[in-house]
Amino acid sequence: MITEYPLTKANRIQLAKAFRNVPRVDISIECVLEAQMGKAFVDSMECPSAFKIVVGPFFYFAGDASSEGGQAMLKDIKPYNLFMSSSAGWVEECRKLYGERLIAFERYSFSSEKLSLATLQQLCQISVHNIKQIDITLLEKIWGQDHFIDISDFDSPSDFMERGIGYYAEKSGEIIGAAYASLVCIQGIEISLFVVDDHRRQGVATALAANLVRWCLENNMDAHWDAANPESCRLAERLGYILTGKYQAYYLKP
């Protein structure tokens, strides 16, 4: 039976051992290992052989995919949730179960090592857009609603204000885009970025992202960038990120 694994100190050590060799493509695994965000599941509380980490729509596997517990976890996959990096054997076992319903797609990893504070400050200064820092008033207004500023992995708006950071663009009283920390762990944040369709290709995304990444550099936080499309890649490189490689993620068609 698959059950939630309480994030006690001892259980987090077990999780760290299980996920030690799973490639890190974002900070989701660290968020759970630190008990910051997300949940973990196992096939047995006493002697687990299969492990699953879930953060929002993203999930990661470790352990024995061919075990009874591993098969049960795979059979519980929901369509369109994202199957991210996992231990060896999980993708193959998933393909056996779902065949062509399991769709692979490319994502892109970037390094923040070469980011320049001066470059980011210049991008912020030349922007003509009205960029504001996300505050508690805005978060309380949108909390619990279907909004592109999705902070549902935080405990509350106050929790975001204590641990997170973000910026939004406003035009004529309308929020037209935002860049914010969707995840937080000790090493830094995971960036989420969205601009309303009618306002894209006007420099809004650049201004938002530059402000957020600048704040992270000024506050000794890593701003993790994981891209899912060429547009996100181009913006990352404009900001000063360096492409380090591609990897495959998966989703399940209905």
Which of 41, 76, 107 is where one domain is finished? 107
What is the Cα 78 distance to its own chain's centre?
A: 18
Mean pLDDT confidence for 121-134: 96
Q: Is residue 99 part of a domain?
A: yes
Is 122 in the same domain as 19? no
**Strand 188-195, strand 39-42: pairing:** unpaired
Q: What is the pLDDT of residues 213-237, one digit of tens each?
A: 999 999 999 999 999 999 999 999 9
CATH number of the domain at 40, please: 3.40.630.110
Question: In angstroms, rounded to a whole number, what is the distance separating the alpha carbons of residues 234 and 231?
Answer: 5
- Interior CA angle at 107 toward 105 and 112, to 5°? 175
Is 149 in the same domain as 215? yes
CATH number of the domain at 121, please: 3.40.630.30
Q: What is the pLDDT of residues 167-217, one digit of tens each?
A: 999 999 999 999 999 999 999 999 999 999 999 999 999 999 999 999 999
Is 190 in the same domain as 137? yes
Residue 101 tokens, joined? 């319903």
pLDDT band at 32 (very low <50, low <70, confident <90, very high): very high
The torsion of the CA quartet 119, 120, 121, 126, rounded to 10 degrees, works out to 90
Residue type, 138: L
Within 13 A of 244's CA, how many CA atoms are on the CB side? 14
Q: What is the pLDDT of residues 73-127, one digit of tens each?
A: 999 999 999 999 999 999 999 999 999 999 999 999 999 999 999 999 999 999 9
Is 101 in the same domain as 119? no
Q: Tell me if 198 sits within 8 A of 209, measured CB to CB.
A: no
pLDDT value for 97:
97
Residue 230 tokens, joined? 């060429």
Is 122 in the same domain as 213? yes
What is the Cα 81 distance to its own chain's centre?
A: 13
What is the 8-class DSSP label of residue 135? -
Q: Which domain holds residue 91?
A: 3-107
Q: Is residue 208 part of a domain?
A: yes
pTM of the model: 0.94
Residue type, 161: M
Which of 78, 107, 136 is where one domain is finished? 107
Q: Is residue 238 part of a domain?
A: no
Closest CA to 61 of 35, 92, 36: 92
Which run of H or of E encompasses 141? helix 136-142
Is 118 in the same domain as 74? no
Is 26 in the same domain as 99? yes
Is 82 in the same domain as 141? no
What is the 8-class DSSP label of residue 245? E
Which run of H or of E encompasses 157? helix 157-163
**Could you give the number of structural domains in the chain?**
2
pLDDT value for 61:
98
Burial status of residue 70 (CB atoms within 10 A of its CB: 0-12, 13-18, 19 or more):
buried
Q: Is residue 66 part of a domain?
A: yes
Is 167 in the same domain as 202? yes
Is 119 in the same domain as 218? yes
Within 13 A of 80's CA, how many CA atoms are on the CB side? 1
pLDDT value for 242:
98
Q: Is residue 178 part of a domain?
A: yes
> 206 to each of 19, 174, 233, 238, how far by Cα in Å?
34, 18, 12, 8
